[in-house]
Amino acid sequence: MNIAVVGTGYVGLVTGVALSEIGHHVTCIDIDIEKVKRMKQGKSPIYEPGLEDLMKANIERGRLDFTKCYEEAFAEAEVAYIAVGTPEKADGTADLRFIEVVAESIGRHVQRDTIVVTKSTVPVGTNDYVRQLVEKNLFENVNIDVVSNPEFLREGSAVHDTFHGDRIVIGANSQHAADTIEQINVPFGLPIYKTDIQSAEMIKYASNAFLATKISFVNEISNLCDKLGANIEDVTAGMGMDARIGNKFLNAGIGYGGSCFPKDTSALVQLAEQAGQPFELLRAVMNVNEKQKRLLVEKAKERFGSLQGKTVALLGLAFKPNTDDMREAASITIAQELILEGANVIGYDPIATENAKKVLPGAVAYADSPEEACKTADFAMILTEWDDIQAVSLEEYKAWLKEPVLFDGRNCYNPAEAAEKGIQYHSIGRQTTG
Ligand code: NAD
């Protein structure tokens, strides 16, 4: 089929590339002209494993193109995917500004009957609003259908997830639209779940809110383990053996970040508020997460008394490994808190440094390797478990740091081994050793 994808961020670009890989003709549109130029040359503007190779292959096959021009993209399009951002507004609700602009533009430019598919995460009711906006500008004799097709990929493994995801959700109020979008997706070979539009919109928010709840729940248990002498890893291993609980997504850490969980939990809380059905549990999940982001700094203050004049190596800045995305990364809060305490901060990230420079405080210095960061520092904090950070040996920390004290926000090492190697090792939900 001929498909237009509007927005080439983590979701739009991966979707466009994947749809071309399974045989469709895809034109991706973005307003960022620099991005479009790069993409036309087969260069991905984001770091996502495997993406660039697939991009190049499908450009060569003539199935994938990029443009900033709506006329060009919609000349032949039978289906238009919306994959622009829905960031958080100051009041916590989802900002639909980009969706509105795109919906109106689609209405002005489609020249044949078209199915508009919303991939972006949007509050329940938004697809109806999208329909109204598109229909406002339509040419005579052109009809549209609207489908909710929320995205579940994870940054860092977005390509893999698109081809190996758990399900594809299609929310439609017309059988024809639901069947067409199902047909487009059949070659992925994944379970397809069809429902109405409102339920599809809610599935996305409910899924992210549930995962965020899991994280905050485990983090609360880990803080209790800290106080009561239990070991969070043994606890979650034992919990996870119960099939009703499951053993995935039970890692304690320094809270969730990224471009989805924080804004989506917040949007759902606001949506619930507007519906007169306050979501108390989710509010607590968000508060726990805010506290958890500060945990390592609290531990460091407890250990050192004052952090004034100390230099701290922050290892890993992206919100999780294998991505260059810095949106809502815990490193932002941690760097700010450390600087407020009078500490100097030197950060290291294998991929996200350029993006980090845009959002971390100006006072943060940057190193090109864990070694350089640690050799400048009094002590270190592990914030993101990138492979090259996990590959640093305990002996190296001992040799590099002025004081062999490690605060590990991702539980990368065995506490007993750390103590044996002469490191004072503070981790999450496990006893401090050394
Ligand atoms: P992003 O910010 O990375 O990308 C958005 C892109 O849209 C940018 O390239 C921007 O230039 C472009 N854009 C903005 N206005 C435009 C316009 N009028 N016309 C054409 N292009 C325009 O966003 P993202 O992370 O890909 O997220 C997109 C949506 O998908 C959001 O609703 C998000 O919640 C949801 N989502 C994201 C993820 C994720 O892991 N990032 C996962 C699932 C769902």
Which atom of ligand 1 is least distant from the CA of 11?
26
The yes-or-no answer to whether 2-195 and 292-426 have a common fold is yes
* Cα separation, 14 vs 321, whole angstroms: 18
Is residue 430 part of an annotated ligand binding site? no
The three-state (H, E, C) secondary structure of 315-331, written as one string? ECCCCCCCCCCCCCCHH
Which region holds residue 429: left if phi is over 0, alpha if psi is between -120 and 50, else beta?
A: left
For ligand 1, mutation pick of 109, 149, 259, 320 (most atoms within 8 Å of CB): 259
CB of 201 closer than 6 A to ligand 1? no
Q: What gap in Å lies between CA 426 and CA 417, rounded to an integer?
A: 12
Which one-letter amino acid corresponds to residue 142? V
Phi, psi of 176 (to 5 degrees): -60, -45
Q: What would the pLDDT profile of 181-210 be if each residue is shown by its tens digit?
A: 999 999 999 999 999 999 999 999 999 999
**Using N-to-C axis directions, what is the helix angle for 295-304 and 280-293, rounded to 10°?**
40
Helix (H, G, I), strand (E, B) or coil at 17: helix
Average pLDDT for the chain: 97
Residue range 37-46, pLDDT digits in tens: 999 999 999 9
- What is the per-residue pLDDT across 209-259, written as a single tens digit (0 to 9) for each? 999 999 999 999 999 999 999 999 999 999 999 999 999 999 999 999 999
Whole-angstrom distance, CA of residue 187 vs CA of residue 182 = 10
**260 in active site:** yes
Fold exhibited by the domain 2-195: Rossmann fold (3.40.50)
Beta strands in 119-160 (DSSP E): 144-148
Query: Comparing C-alpha atoms, which of 145, 13, 143, 142 is closest to residue 66?
Result: 13
When the candidates are 3.40.50.2300, 3.10.450.240, 3.40.30.10, 3.40.50.720, the CATH number that belongs to 292-426 is 3.40.50.720
Helices and strands in the chain: count of H runs, count of E runs: 19, 14
What confidence category does residue 75 fall into, taking pLDDT thresholds of 50, 70 and 90?
Answer: confident
Q: What is the DSSP letter of 139?
A: P
Q: Is 20 in the pocket of ligand 1 (CB under 6 A)?
A: no
Q: Is the pLDDT of residue 339 over 90?
A: yes
Q: For the chain, what are the domain ranges?
A: 2-195, 204-284, 292-426
Span from the CA of 121 to the centroid of ligand 1 (angstroms): 9
Task: Say which CATH topology domain 204-284 has.
Answer: N-(1-d-carboxylethyl)-l-norvaline Dehydrogenase; domain 2 (1.10.1040)
For residue 158, give the ligand 1 atom closest to its CA.
40
Write the residue with the smallest CA distance to atom 38 of ligand 1. Answer: 11
CA distances from 185 to 203, 353, 358 (A): 18, 36, 37
Residue minimizing CA distance to atom 29 of ligand 1: 120
Taking residues 342-368, report their average pLDDT.
97
Which tops the pLDDT comparison, 84 or 137?
84
The pLDDT of residue 43 = 97
Q: Can you give the pLDDT at residue 106? A: 96
